[in-house]
Amino acid sequence: MATHGVSSKLVIGYGVLFFFGSVLVKWAVYLGVLSRHVYPSMSAGVMAVIQGLLSSGCEMGAAAIAFRLFLPNLGLWQVFGFGAGAAGCEALIASLVQNPFAGGQFGEQTAAQISALESGPWWLAVALPFVERGVATTDHIACRGLVALGIASGRVWPIAVAVLAFAVTDGFVMYALARKWEFAQPAVAARLFGVLALVAAGSAVAWRLAI
C-alpha cells in the first residue's frame, strides 16, 4: 500500500468522523426501529444475526466509503491511525455513556449488570474495562485494515473477512444480552470475552496475511 499525501492527524480525524457517523446511524435504527418494533418478537439467534449485520454494515460500510472516496492508497501506519481514531472515539463515547442500551429493550437489564459488576469482585470491575478496550481496539483496527487492503488491492476476501468478523463480534454481544447472560459473573465474562478475543485475534491475523 502506497502512502497517501495526507497528514496523520487528518487520517485519525477521518477515522473519528466516519466511526461517529456510522454509530449514529446504527443506534438510530436500533433504538428507533429494531428495539421497539422488531426484536421483541424474535429469538436470540435471529436478533444476533440482524444486529451483527447492521453494525458491521454501518461501520465497515463507512470505512469503505472513506477509503474509496477520501483516503485512497493509505500507508499501513495511516490505516492503523484511521482504526485507532475509531477505537479512540468509541472509548470516549463509552466513558460518557455508561449504558449504551438505555432507552431500548435491554436498557434496564444492562443497568442491572453494570450495578452488579460494581458491587461484585473488585478485580473483575478493574480488569473487565481493560480487556474490553483491548479486544475492541484490536477489532476496530484490524477490520478497518482489512477493508482498506481489499479496496486498495481489488481483493474481495479481506473485506468479506472484516464484515463477517465485525458482525460476529456485535452479534455475539446481542445474543448474550438476549440470553440474559450475567456478565458480572467471572466465568460468564471469561466466556464472552474469550470468544470476542478469538474473533479479534483472527481479524488481526487475517490483516497480517493480507498485507
Cβ density class 26-39: b for 16+ within 10 Å, e for less: bbebbbeebbeeeb
Distance CA 104, CA 191 (A): 25
Q: Please tell me the total number of residues recorded for the chain in this structure.
A: 211
Query: Three cell numbers at 38?
Result: 422488531
The predicted pLDDT at position 100 comes to 86
Distance CA 39, CA 1 (A): 42
The predicted pLDDT at position 73 comes to 83
Query: Three cell numbers at 59?
Result: 461501520
Q: What are phi and psi of 6, to 5 degrees?
A: -130, 155
The predicted pLDDT at position 205 comes to 98
The predicted pLDDT at position 103 comes to 84
The predicted pLDDT at position 181 comes to 95
Distance CA 28, CA 192 (A): 26
Query: Three cell numbers at 29?
Result: 435504527
Distance CA 203, CA 166 (A): 9
The predicted pLDDT at position 7 comes to 86
Q: How confident is the chain (211 residues) per 10-residue block, as mean pLDDT?
A: 68 96 96 93 96 98 96 90 96 90 89 91 92 96 97 96 98 96 94 97 96 89
